[in-house]
Chains A and B, each alone.
Chain A
Amino acid sequence: MNNMILGRYSPYDSFLHRLDPRNKIVSMILLMVALFFQFNLPGTSITDFVMTFIVEGVILFIVIISMIVAHVSIKQFFKSLKAMWFVVLLLFIINIFIVASPSSADWTSTMYYYYGESFRIQVPAWNWDYPIYWASIYQSIKIVSRLIIMISLTMILTSTTKPLDLTFAFEWFMSPLKLIKFPAHEIAMTLSIALRFIPTLLDETDRIMKAQSSRGVDFKHGRVSLRIKALVALIIPLFISAFQRSEELADAMEARGYNPRAKRTHYHKLTWSVFDSVIILFTLAILAGVIVISVMNITYYTPTFLGWLFIALAITITMFILLGIFSSTRKVAK
């Protein structure tokens, strides 16, 4: 049970594991932003798709190599994509309706006209005849591929960064807001304690379930209404014990001199290394490239673009080779 929530962290000591969590968060966001640029040029809307897929391809390349470096479990990855089928279907249905009719396409751009009809849905009984445009299919694919890459990026972050380090990074990012009395430290502390107590509460859940089962409560069989009733027998004791715990925990923290408002030192120092600078410059360069391409309407068939793409790929590959040399990956005991 524990692994469902925290098991995403893969206990290796790879190059990506050693990067500063702040860097990983920022780099992830930069790459996500890069994913979402539009390249639509009036009259040449197919360009948008091709350009999108080229940019996505570059980022996907980085993602795949990162996943290999970070030992992200492939099984976990596909598991997390399972829920995507529903999203794909939903997006497709929505796109059929919003992309199809020329009047609704006006507000996005003129690009959607250019793909023509792919097929029509016909239901004669209802006197229904609805055209489906290629554009709606393209559009769905575009969004889904972006989503998959975004999921992969977050997955790389969570499997190479301990949840606790994420809370430290969060506190660091929010620390300027302390000036306006934003409780950054308190939130980070709360988060880290929540993380600390997840396994404890899962154990507790398990214990309560066993105790209630032995009293005849059935959690697994029977009508839904009965099962919901059974759940009450689990949730109420769980809440009571959680409240009790929180009280004792607060006492223990206070007794050990904790005061959220007072100054305190930090045992965990986030350390920014040279590699972090290299990585963040690299992601910044990718984002800058995408922005320039998008703003200057550079298209994939111009020599400039091909040159850029070549350079981007060359840099990526060299970087990963260098990283491979500098980083020794070994499994660490959890």
Chain B
Amino acid sequence: MNVIEANNLKFSYDGKNDAIKGVSFSICSGKYYSIIGHNGSGKSTLAKLLIGLLKPSKDSLKAFGLEYNSKNIKEIRRKVGIVFQNPDNQFIGSTVKDDIAFGLENRCVPQKDMDKIIEEYSKKVDMFDYLDKQPEKLSGGQKQRVAIAGVLAMHPEVIIFDEATAMLDPKGKREISELIKKMRIDNPNLTLISITHDVEEAFNSDEIIVMNEGEIYMSGSPKEILSKSDELEKIHLGVPFLYSLANELNKLGIKVDDYSSLESLVNSICQ
């Protein structure tokens, strides 16, 4: 089932240059998408269109069969959540508790239910011990986990991550990836759209969408995309060593199929 459908979607900030130049795609329920592309290729713009922060032109974008207009936007935002890049600038409450409660307040959740919900979701992201902490006492990764809890608490069907791990250290990144894996197991119907510069991270997804200059350059399964290293090089996207090595080997006629990690690559070479 398609949750989001874009049909010749265009967007321009200044009325002259299009930041998004007529893209069409559909997002299926329960799948994990990655969007990659270099700086300024329009990834964030696309994300903001999907969550209704920017207004798409008429009939070009639909979520859950709903047009993006002022009447539906509340309903759409109920079903689509987003986690942004900067951990500080999306922390609205004065403590972890308050921040998770912020979304609940907006959804008019009765006050007496809030503590229970906050407990449940802070436990899910492993932040239960920090409920009374202020943001300046938390690490970037912890703040991002709070942001995820805040989004999860609203039971969205689609979650967009706009470079949510870009400002984190490797440990923070790993924790968020683990969390995303767990979220998918918890709720198989959850659709994830992860915007990232990290091709390795994108490898874990079901489908990769490559953006370039406001257009969808190509899309497909990670293996498909990563095997086209020449085309990726053309738009200045590097392919990690492991994949380029596997590609080269394949070109030379040495068949390797499993190259998701160094170990499996070595194993498949040795076969």
Give residues in A with beta carbon < 8 Å to B: 2, 164, 192-193, 195-196, 199-200, 203, 245, 248-249, 251-259, 262-269
Complex Cα distance, B138 from A200, in Å, reads 12
Q: What is the number of contacts between chain A and chain B, taking CB atoms within 8 Å? A: 86
A258 and B86 contacting across the interface, CB-CB below 8 Å: no
Q: How far is the CB of B138 from chain A (nearest CB, A)?
A: 12
* Residue contacts A-B, CB under 8 angstroms, 14 given: A2-B136, A164-B94, A196-B92, A200-B88, A248-B84, A248-B86, A248-B90, A251-B48, A256-B92, A259-B106, A265-B105, A267-B101, A267-B104, A268-B98
Given contacts A203-B136, A265-B109, contact A255 B88 (CB under 8 A): no
Q: How far is the CB of B78 from chain A (nearest CB, A)?
A: 7
The residue in A248, A252, A269 that gathers the most chain B C-beta atoms within 10 A of its C-beta is A252
Interface check B245, CB cutoff 8 A = no
Chain B: residues with Cβ within 8 Å of the partner, total of: 37
For A267, give the chain B residue with the smallest CB separation.
B101
Q: Which residues from chain B contact A263 at a C-beta distance below 8 Å?
A: 108
Q: How far is the CB of A79 from chain B (nearest CB, A)?
A: 23
Q: How far is the CB of A326 from chain B (nearest CB, A)?
A: 24
Interface check B259, CB cutoff 8 A = no
Partner of A266, one of B89, B92, B105, B107: B105
Interface check B102, CB cutoff 8 A = yes
The residue in A245, A249, A263 that gathers the most chain B C-beta atoms within 10 A of its C-beta is A249
Q: Which residues from chain B contact A254 at a C-beta distance below 8 Å?
A: 53
A264 and B108 contacting across the interface, CB-CB below 8 Å: yes
Q: Which residues from chain A contact B102 at a C-beta distance below 8 Å?
A: 253, 256, 258
A196 and B53 contacting across the interface, CB-CB below 8 Å: no
B89 and A252 contacting across the interface, CB-CB below 8 Å: yes
Q: How far is the CB of B128 from chain A (nearest CB, A)?
A: 16
A193 and B92 contacting across the interface, CB-CB below 8 Å: yes
Q: Name A's interface SS.
A: helix
Q: Which residues from chain B contact A248 at a C-beta distance below 8 Å?
A: 84, 86, 89-90
Complex Cα distance, B92 from A254, in Å, reads 11
Q: How far is the CB of A150 from chain B (nearest CB, A)?
A: 28
Give residues in B with beta carbon < 8 Å to A: 48, 51, 53, 74, 77-78, 81-82, 84, 86, 88-94, 97-98, 101-111, 114, 134-136, 150-151, 154
Complex Cα distance, B103 from A252, in Å, reads 10
Q: Which residues from chain A contact B136 at a C-beta distance below 8 Å?
A: 2, 199-200, 203
For B100, give the chain A residue with the smallest CB separation.
A267
Inter-chain pairs besides A256-B92, A256-B150, A264-B105, 18 sampled, C-beta below 8 Å: A2-B136, A164-B94, A196-B135, A199-B134, A200-B135, A203-B136, A248-B90, A252-B90, A252-B92, A256-B102, A256-B106, A257-B107, A258-B102, A258-B106, A259-B74, A259-B106, A264-B106, A265-B108
For B115, give the chain A residue with the smallest CB separation.
A267
Q: How far is the CB of A206 from chain B (nearest CB, A)?
A: 12
B111 and A266 contacting across the interface, CB-CB below 8 Å: yes
For A199, give the chain B residue with the smallest CB separation.
B136
For A245, give the chain B residue with the smallest CB separation.
B89
Q: How far is the CB of A1 from chain B (nearest CB, A)?
A: 11
